[in-house]
Amino acid sequence: MSSIQKPDLKSWIGHVKRKKRGVPEGLWIRCNGCKSTVFRKDVENNLGVCPEPNCDHHFYVTATTRIQQLLDDDSFEEWFADLHSCDPLEFMDKKSYKQRLIDEQQKTGLREACVVGRGYMRGRPLVFGLTDAAFIMGSMGSAVGEKLTRAIENATKMKLPLVIVSGSGGGARMHEGILSLMQMGKVSAALARYHNGGGLFISVLTNPTMGGVAASFASLGDVIFAEPKALVGFAGPRVVQATVSMKLPKGFQTSEFLLKNGFVDRIVDRHELRTEIARVIDYCGQ
């Protein structure tokens, strides 16, 4: 009589210990507006706006994405792409400024915090510029100021409308000291010459637009649009509150607060921004 063979108790251990399949990282993101967890692809397909009903939170989008959203396909011609900051002060904090610039370039794929050039928006030629908060918070160093100034001067010579989308939370770049602060006056002076030449400057404020950017060119538009709930101002609300030692009004330094107090002409949803800019260009005969 044959004996019963004992089962191999170790045969199923490999199946129990196998690595569980998880959700790939980055598929879902948390909305800072409604606090919901939303599918990243849905956000991207919605121009970087939260797809949840009654939310309308505008996520950060990269410089490349912003150009694709606003300008006609393959119409953008970048100017001064190789222009970048040096290290005039040999600045050092946790790392050297020179190394910080290299790290930021590798992280973002940008040469600097500003991109300028010529393009078309619904068939209308214009000079276009933007600042990107991903590159040292979009702070205005000497290269950013120089690129914006040259773009404005070209718009003056070519008699083209000028659109600058501001997304800067850093203001003047401390790593360059007074050389950075000088850019506020330089860009503003170029805009004054552009204005005297009859140019149309449309400024678009996104979240965030702070510091020296808000205190200079971003506030000098002939028409100023802002995305919903964007933080716009010089110093942040907490700094202002600590300085004046009083409670700030509800919604202080948001697009809605600025519109109510006359600092912004219109709040425009990202889906309508391209159409509204083209409409203003047509209305002003540019």
Q: What is the pLDDT of residue 7?
A: 58
Instruction: Give residue 5's pLDDT.
Output: 61
Q: pLDDT band at residue 8, thresholds of 50, 70 and 90?
A: low
- Spatial CA neighbour of 165 closest among 211, 122, 201: 201
Asked whether residue 189 falls in the same domain as residue 244, the answer is yes
What is the predicted pLDDT for the residue at 198?
96
Boundary residue ending a domain (16, 41, 59): 59
Distance CA 58, CA 52 (A): 12
Calculate mean pLDDT across residues 190-211.
Answer: 97
Which residue segment(s) compose the domain that 42 sits in? 24-59
pLDDT digits (tens, 9 = 90+) for 249-261: 988 999 999 999 9
pLDDT tens digits, 120-176 = 999 999 999 999 999 999 999 999 999 999 999 999 999 999 999 999 988 889 999
One domain for residues 53 and 70: no
Q: Which of 8-17, 69-78, 195-204 has the lowest mean pLDDT?
A: 8-17
- Report the chain's C-alpha Rg in angstroms: 24
| Predicted local confidence at residue 21, as pLDDT | 62
239 within a domain of the structure (yes/no): yes
Is 271 found in the same domain as 144?
yes
pLDDT at 263 over 70: yes
pTM for this prediction: 0.89
Contact criterion met (CB below 8 Å) for 50 and 228: no
Query: Domains in the chain: how many in total?
Result: 2
CB 269 within 8 A of CB 255: no
Q: Which of residues 43, 59, 75 is at a domain's end?
A: 59
**In the 8-state DSSP scheme, what is residue 258?**
H
218-231 burial string, b = 16+ CB within 10 Å, else e?
bbbbbbbbbbbbbb
Amino acid at residue number 114: C
Portion of the chain with pLDDT greater than 70, in percent: 91
Number of Cβ within a 10 Å radius of residue 193: 12
- Tell me the C-alpha distance between 249 and 99, whole Å: 41
Q: Is the pLDDT of residue 285 over 80?
A: no
Average pLDDT on 46-54 reads: 94
Q: Which of 33, 59, 85 is the last residue of a domain?
A: 59
pLDDT at 239 over 60: yes
Same domain, 76 and 54: no
